Amino acid sequence: MVGEKGRGRGQKRCRDGHGRTFVHGVEQRDMTDSTGDLTAIADARDTLTTLVEPIERTDTVPLSVAEGRVLAEELVARESSPADGIAVDDRLFARGHRLRSTDLGLLKVAGVDDVLAVQRPTVGIVPTGDELVQREAGAGERVETTAFTLSQHVDRWGGKVTYRDTVGEDRHALRAAIQRDLTRDALVVTGVTAGDPVHEVVADLGSIHVDGVASDPGQTVAVASVEERPVLLVPESPVDCLVAAVQLLRPLVAELSGAPLPAHAHHHAALSDSVESASGVRTLVPVELADHVATPLGDGQPTLRDVIRADGWVTVEENDDGLAAEASVGVIDWEHA
């Protein structure tokens, strides 16, 4: 295998005898299809999660605050409870299990007062844009909400978030902001548009593995790495950001935790209207649910208000051109699990 140094520090780029290129051991595959230069969302997710290993850092956590934590070791009963069918040393939960509220009651009965849990993955979230402010927007300014909202989602998914102040489009400031959070397990930069300075700064510091995914919304997303840290670049649009985060960042947090990705709540319904989709693109549509009927929102271009109104999302897979009215569909509730 032939090695060469990329522009970023520590970015080892290698080619093997078959002409394949690797960065940090990640094969840089040509994943273009009928969508042009866009990468299938599943391939982008695989690329992102391949950049990390499960966290080995642990905490001893009191049972009272252990809900949602991932076990770093197998748990066995320390006391018997004949009424509950529990004997001492009974195996209760395996390593990698994410504790639910009902689990905690069982553990208390079994004499468990604290658990050894995997530390929550640390995620730095950096909002970018010259026009963004945190409060009291003036002329030509907007209050930053995309990264703030994303922070709440990541916290619910089990990550430990550092939500940074807004950073303008000055290259030196962007470079400093990215380097500052390389101590985190993962970094997300919001407010990124095609051709803006963030791409150039990240490419200079490391490598961009995926630039654009076959997802609608959520197309203008990039997957990168800097100093062996995964970096996700997402747009300012809150809808695009949410769609990208659910499909890419949520699995990354689970991978870092060493836990299976929890399933979303799922409902079955019939579509009230047809839904169109471009060939080769995964289309995600927010819907309202009533009497087992799913009504699409947003007329193909959902807004944040549509997302808030939605009871769930319907997915049109890449190999479909759309869904007909009255089609039976699965409705996924992203707000749960």
Dist CA 304 CA 299 (whole Å) = 13
User: 85 phi and psi, to 5 degrees?
Assistant: 70, 30
105-127 pLDDT per residue, tens: 999 999 999 999 999 999 999 99
Residue 95: its pLDDT value, please?
Answer: 96
Residue for token digits 């995914």?
213
Dist CA 334 CA 297 (whole Å) = 16
Contact 162, 122 (CB under 8 A): yes
What is the DSSP track for 88-151? TT-EEE-TTPBPPHHHHHHHHHTT--EEEEEPPPEEEEEEB-TTEESSS--TT-EE--HHHHHH
Dist CA 298 CA 240 (whole Å) = 13
Residue 37: its pLDDT value, please?
Answer: 80
Residue for token digits 């510091």?
205
User: Which ranges of the chain does DSSP label H, i.e. alpha helix?
Assistant: 41-50, 101-109, 146-156, 171-180, 197-205, 238-244, 250-257, 304-309
Contact 183, 143 (CB under 8 A): no
Dist CA 47 CA 297 (whole Å) = 31
219-233 pLDDT per residue, tens: 999 999 999 999 999
Contact 131, 142 (CB under 8 A): yes
Contact 145, 127 (CB under 8 A): no
- DSSP3 helix / strand / coil % (the chain, rounded to 5): 25, 35, 40
Residue 21: its pLDDT value, please?
Answer: 39
How would you label 210-245 residue by residue, b for 16+ Cβ within 10 Å and e otherwise? Answer: bbbbbbbbbbbbbbbbbbebbbbbbbbbbbbbbbbb
| Sheet of 186-190, strand order | 160-163, 122-127, 186-190, 229-233, 222-226, 207-211
Residue 312: its pLDDT value, please?
Answer: 96
Residue for token digits 């990240």?
202
Residue 335: its pLDDT value, please?
Answer: 83
Question: Which stretches of the chain drop beneath a pLDDT of 50?
Answer: 1-34
Domains and CATH numbers, the chain: 34-52+120-257 (3.40.980.10), 58-118 (3.90.105.10), 265-333 (2.40.340.10)
Residue 115: its pLDDT value, please?
Answer: 98
Residue 336: its pLDDT value, please?
Answer: 73
